[in-house]
Structure 1
Amino acid sequence: MGTLDPILMSVMANRLDGIVREMTNTLLRAARSAVISSARDFSCCLVTGDDQLLAPAEGLPVHIFGCHIQTANMRRYHAGDIRRGDAYLDNDPYGGNTHPADHTFMVPVFHQGEHLFTSVAKCHMADIGNSIPSSYFVLAKDVYHEGALVFPGVRIQRDFKNIEDIVRMCRARIRVPDQWYGDYLAGLGSARVAERRLEEFCAKYGTATVKRFISDWFDYSERRMIDNIRRLPKATLVNKGRSDPLEGILPGGLELTVRIEIDPEEATIHVDISDNPPCVDVGLNTSLGAATSAVVGAIFNALEKDIPRNAGSFRRLRFTYAEESVVAAPRFPHSCSMGTTNVSERLVNITQSAFAQLGDGHGLAEGGTGLGAGMAVISGKDARRGGAPFVNRMMLSTNGGPASPVADGWVNYAIPVIAGLMYRDSVEVDELKHPLRVNAISIVGDSAGAGRRRGAPAQTIDLTPTGNDVIAVISCDGQHAPPRGVAGGHDGTAGMTWRIGANGDGTRLPNVIQVTLRKGEVLRGRDSAGGGYGDPLEREPERVLHDVLEGWESRAKAERVYGVLFTGEIEDETLAVDEAATAAARAALKATRKSTHAS
């Protein structure tokens, strides 16, 4: 059989993406916890029966690029005993999963007795049985201290029915068992929806055409990747970054290194992430799936936006790993509790900004990092509901996105491993679900990294309990080294967290902290802002005017950094660019810069 007609191939590819989006809508509407149903901290994808990532749609890169490893383990663990009606749960960070909080539901899909697909739904659970009330635990000394329930490719359904032993085990250990079970059913339901749609897909096209499509789609994706890499210059890029320090544990943080070799002739990108620190006795170790996902996602950020993300395009990527490392090579029992965030966020930034070394027009700046106060895990007992326990990871604030060669940073960026693909919580829904009030959320003026294209500004948030004490676990990694600008762009600003007492006095908190808030106290967080791209003096004056009118940049910064002067006032709506004064100011700033460099 020859290659498929291109129109048919496009129709089939979009049909699979449509199935993944139906999975996504199912999970979003059926889940119980706010972290899934409001923030959308989950991803869905389709994997082939022989464990190749096929269709991720808009899944989070950090979630989906390792799913094929998990499905391969599922088949290995249950060799010869996988059949229609089965479902499996995996959250083992040593077996390909991202970190224990991401419960991954896998359903094998059969057609005419042949295992052709596995549907995958990966959800960040609000509680996983950790020893502290949080699915994140930076300070976990090892997996025993972390305390998470771990399921390495465990069968949870046979003949479409729950294996109740597993359900009872989870309900016995998890602080919010009904909420967890609701999310469990939502994850399973999402994967089962895909199963039905894929069975219809196979019945319509037949096994031979489906297999031909998969082969041709991967080949097409690889050709797109080859074409893109061949338009890059041959280069070796080395970039370093550093995670936040941990007080008394890692005083200097972790220095991280990514080495990228671009070979246009061979059309390959070789990534060496072996030159990184050994495993550490805290929860910062990154799993193979999470670290690789972070780097792969960043590479795609630096390439054409419409290259299919699947096993075909991945054929052109090569990786070198260490045998035991905080990056992609954890050794049991070191904890990977923060596998998808802190170090992974830095890996995204280091990788995508490394491409800026190729010259103007390549790569991106660094995006804002850190699970700050607005992304804390909150817990306690809700007096409004008879003292019922609650645990949830919020998604109320967001760091500023990085500038690219062609666009300013996104305000709704969140963190580098999310890059705008999750939703921001509804303030009203979070206040209804939890005994917490959001006093304020606002943009922080003059916080963004300046550039020809500007990073997104930081945000600030104030939270206060409305009844009983609320425990907030903050696992932030963006409060020391600021997100860096590239190609002459300026750095963004780092984040901060404060506890404001009932008397109004504020205390600066460490970047990683578990704090108990009492009624009348306020948790205040400032997120980090994205780095800029290119020379700020090349930014179009009308863009600077817009930033000043929006309150994102001050008039003083516009003059000092961008060299843009104005006539009129904001208050009476007469503010306008003074073109002659701006030209003179920019010329003077360039002369001063030239003189400084010469000296």
Structure 2
Amino acid sequence: MTSGTLDPAQMAVIANRLDTIVREMTSTLLRAGRSSVIAVARDFSCSIVTGEDELLASAEGLPVHIFGAHLQTAELRRRHPDLRDGDAYLDNDPYVGGSHHADHTIMVPVFVGDTHLFTAVAKSHQADIGNSMPTTYFAMAKDVYEEGALNFPCVQVQRDREDISDVIEMCRRRIRVPDQWYGDYLATLGAARTGERRLKELVDVYGLELIRQFVAEWFDYSERRMTAAISALPSGRYVRHGQHDSVGPLPPIPLKVDLTVDAEAGRVSIDLRDNPDCVPAGLNMTRSTATNMAIAGLFNNIDPTVPHNAGAFRRVEVLLRENCVVGIPRHPTSASMATTNVADRLVNLAQSALGEAGTGHGVAEGGTGMGPGMGVISGTDWRTGMPFVNQMFVANNGGPASRDCDGWLTWILPVCAGLLYRDSIEINEQKYPVQFDYVRLLPDSGGPGRHRGANAMELAYTARGNPVDVVWTLDAHESPPNGIHGGGPGATAAAALRHATGEVTELPGTGAIALEPGQYVLNTTAGGGGFGDPRTRDADAVLHDVAEGYVTRDAAAEVYGVVIVGEEHSPRVDQDATERRRAALGAV
């Protein structure tokens, strides 16, 4: 091995080159994907893991996907100690390292000579996985058998870079849209093979020993950065309680995050063991999603330039227990929705728990829930006579406010931290027999605060030609995303059905309907929580909110204490009236 330490400039060059490789993998998958959930919404992630199962690089991967990739590669090596160059493996097993059955992960071991140096990982959310009902999110599945998904526990799908046809045919027989699935499979495989090719080229340029030295030093550097970031937090134990709202016959699920910061030691412990046992439904989290969402909540509170890799993870301990709704499910417990809903609540609690450390810390709670605007649609397209299944991401939950800024308007879900893309309405209408009436932001729906939570959204859509089946699972329809440090909660979510007669009936928290042409599904999403006392918000920021339609003039005066006057096209702040109004409200 090369003696001494690497030059910092060389370290930076190699680190950025690894990120570039992951971004090229990402671009490959985005451009080659067949379904809109992949090619439009970008519900996938790519990463590089070392041959010793340590996460090395993830670029813009979704948090809910990335932090468990090393668990999958570890299981891969346990099951297949004879890995060879040219192999590829498919994994979606939630009981060891996978996130949930819908996330098909392709793992390609990268060999340099006889050395298994890296594993290129590409994980993509499928439009259909053979569930007993046409949805990849089956909230009320009592167990894995009722869920019905195809399970691939690190199954080999390529040998010598050629498909193993038996596995491919299994999928074609059980998946409702086999050609679409196969196209997405090829895109995911192509992303992993792209990573393999570029990593070998990287080693050709720098040499095996120098790359090994870089990995060791990069992890040590990342650990030092994480230690420094944790040392800047106040030491203490911070506990946050919340719940996932009731769905179907299930009552609300109480949730708790118990987070301890030891600033002097530069360590954080996140204890999730004091949570309910697994529920007889698909809402249970997996080992990977429970771990990664707790860590994601912590990362949302520290310097964003700290690398997200195994070196940084050395300073964080996440405590789980078996048979826990936010822990380690036992077979045959269903974890169909392990990447959302309860997971969204968990990251909210983890990121807001640090608010107990003082007004300069913590992040409010972001909007949660997968209502019909993020539902799975399926049926037969009357234009082609062919079946279709697709996970839509047209709706958008409002993002949480923080110490530094307002909530992110296109947050979508806490587990994705704004990295998931909203669907194109036009592409959805082109690819599937649906038509949207409106998609719009709701004024006064973001949690008020010194920094404001992002607005909720409302939308309506109908079927065209034939009925369209819609499956969804709401959250935040009972308990809204909370603000912190005096910030208000965001709006609650709701779902309804507008009949052809104009009558509107409420839809339950989770369900499935056959949407007829002329009927419209209505979905109101949740807004993000606010940060800080709204009466201390900059008056010009409130003026901007009113001009953009985020906040009404009435709310500006009643909640923020800011009096807006003038015509709609030229509003302005009445400074004297605002001072009087804020004094009357007891502004601090």
Shorter-chain TM band: over 0.9
Partner amino acid for 2:131?
N
Given that 2:144 and 2:333 are in contact with CA atoms closer than 8 Å, whether structure 1 keeps it comes out as yes
Instruction: Give CA deviations for 1:9-45 in whole Å, capped at 9, x if unaligned.
Output: 1000000000000000000010101000000000000
Instruction: Give CA deviations for 1:51-70 in whole Å, capped at 9, x if unaligned.
Output: 00000100001101001010
> Equivalent residue for 1:497?
495
> Equivalent residue for 1:390?
388
* CA-CA distance at 1:246 after TM superposition: 2.1
| Distance in 2 (alpha carbons) for counterparts of 1:353 and 1:58 | 23
* CA-CA distance at 1:574 after TM superposition: 3.2
Given that 2:474 and 2:494 are in contact with CA atoms closer than 8 Å, whether structure 1 keeps it comes out as no
Given that 1:259 and 1:272 are in contact with CA atoms closer than 8 Å, whether structure 2 keeps it comes out as yes
* CA-CA distance at 1:566 after TM superposition: 2.3
Q: How does 1:181-330 map to 2 (within 5 A)?
A: 181-248=182-249, 250-251=250-251, 253-330=252-329
Unaligned runs of 5+ in 2: none
Q: How does 1:97-496 map to 2 (within 5 A)?
A: 97-248=98-249, 250-251=250-251, 253-385=252-384, 387-496=385-494
Unaligned runs of 5+ in 1: 595-599
Partner amino acid for 1:391?
V
Instruction: Give CA deviations for 1:274-323 in whole Å, capped at 9, x if unaligned.
Output: 00000111001100001111111111001111100000000000121123
* CA-CA distance at 1:501 after TM superposition: 0.2
| Distance in 2 (alpha carbons) for counterparts of 1:93 and 1:517 | 32
2:78 is paired with a residue whose SS is helix
1:262 is paired with a residue whose SS is strand
> Equivalent residue for 1:575?
571
| Distance in 2 (alpha carbons) for counterparts of 1:8 and 1:247 | 56
**1:9 maps onto 2:11 in alignment:** yes
> Equivalent residue for 2:584?
588
Partner amino acid for 1:587?
A
Given that 2:449 and 2:486 are in contact with CA atoms closer than 8 Å, whether structure 1 keeps it comes out as yes
| Distance in 2 (alpha carbons) for counterparts of 1:558 and 1:567 | 11
Instruction: Give CA deviations for 1:188-243 in whole Å, capped at 9, x if unaligned.
Output: 00000010000000111111000000001000100000111111111100011100
**1:69 maps onto 2:71 in alignment:** yes
* CA-CA distance at 1:569 after TM superposition: 2.0
* CA-CA distance at 1:361 after TM superposition: 1.8
| Distance in 2 (alpha carbons) for counterparts of 1:319 and 1:383 | 50
- Stretches of 4+ aligned residues off by more than 6 angstroms: none
| Distance in 1 (alpha carbons) for counterparts of 2:230 and 2:424 | 41
2:458 is paired with a residue whose SS is strand
Give the counterpart of 2:35 among 16, 33, 36: 33
| Distance in 2 (alpha carbons) for counterparts of 1:262 and 1:429 | 46
* Percentage of identical aligned residues: 53
Partner amino acid for 1:210?
I
* CA-CA distance at 1:567 after TM superposition: 2.4
Partner amino acid for 2:188?
G
2:95 is paired with a residue whose SS is helix
| Mean Cα deviation higher: 327-336 or 159-168 | 327-336
TM-score normalised per structure 2: 0.99
CA RMSD of aligned residues (A): 0.9
| Distance in 2 (alpha carbons) for counterparts of 1:588 and 1:312 | 52
1:384 is paired with a residue whose SS is coil
* CA-CA distance at 1:354 after TM superposition: 0.5
Partner amino acid for 1:23?
M
| Distance in 1 (alpha carbons) for counterparts of 2:145 and 2:318 | 30
1:507 is paired with a residue whose SS is strand
How many residue pairs match? The answer is 586
**1:44 maps onto 2:43 in alignment:** no
Give the counterpart of 2:531 among 517, 530, 533: 533
Given that 2:247 and 2:474 are in contact with CA atoms closer than 8 Å, whether structure 1 keeps it comes out as no
Q: How does 1:51-66 map to 2 (within 5 A)?
A: 51-66=53-68
* CA-CA distance at 1:479 after TM superposition: 1.4
Given that 1:373 and 1:461 are in contact with CA atoms closer than 8 Å, whether structure 2 keeps it comes out as no
Given that 2:257 and 2:270 are in contact with CA atoms closer than 8 Å, whether structure 1 keeps it comes out as yes
> Equivalent residue for 1:597?
none
Instruction: Give CA deviations for 1:556-581 in whole Å, capped at 9, x if unaligned.
Output: 000000001122121xx332101111
* CA-CA distance at 1:515 after TM superposition: 1.1
| Distance in 2 (alpha carbons) for counterparts of 1:308 and 1:339 | 25
* CA-CA distance at 1:247 after TM superposition: 3.0
2:389 is paired with a residue whose SS is strand
* CA-CA distance at 1:160 after TM superposition: 0.3
1:94 is paired with a residue whose SS is coil
Given that 1:143 and 1:333 are in contact with CA atoms closer than 8 Å, whether structure 2 keeps it comes out as yes
| Distance in 2 (alpha carbons) for counterparts of 1:86 and 1:195 | 11
Partner amino acid for 2:174?
R
* CA-CA distance at 1:476 after TM superposition: 1.8
1:145 is paired with a residue whose SS is helix
| Distance in 2 (alpha carbons) for counterparts of 1:126 and 1:524 | 22
Given that 1:403 and 1:456 are in contact with CA atoms closer than 8 Å, whether structure 2 keeps it comes out as yes
| Distance in 2 (alpha carbons) for counterparts of 1:330 and 1:405 | 36
| Distance in 2 (alpha carbons) for counterparts of 1:511 and 1:393 | 18
Instruction: Give CA deviations for 1:510-544 in whole Å, capped at 9, x if unaligned.
Output: 12110110010001101000000000010000010
* CA-CA distance at 1:3 after TM superposition: 1.1
1:224 is paired with a residue whose SS is helix
Given that 2:439 and 2:458 are in contact with CA atoms closer than 8 Å, whether structure 1 keeps it comes out as yes
| Distance in 2 (alpha carbons) for counterparts of 1:288 and 1:323 | 9
Given that 1:564 and 1:582 are in contact with CA atoms closer than 8 Å, whether structure 2 keeps it comes out as yes
Give the counterpart of 2:549 among 545, 548, 551: 551
Instruction: Give CA deviations for 1:113-161 in whole Å, capped at 9, x if unaligned.
Output: 1000000000000000000001110000000000000000111100000
| Distance in 1 (alpha carbons) for counterparts of 2:341 and 2:420 | 17
Partner amino acid for 1:148?
A
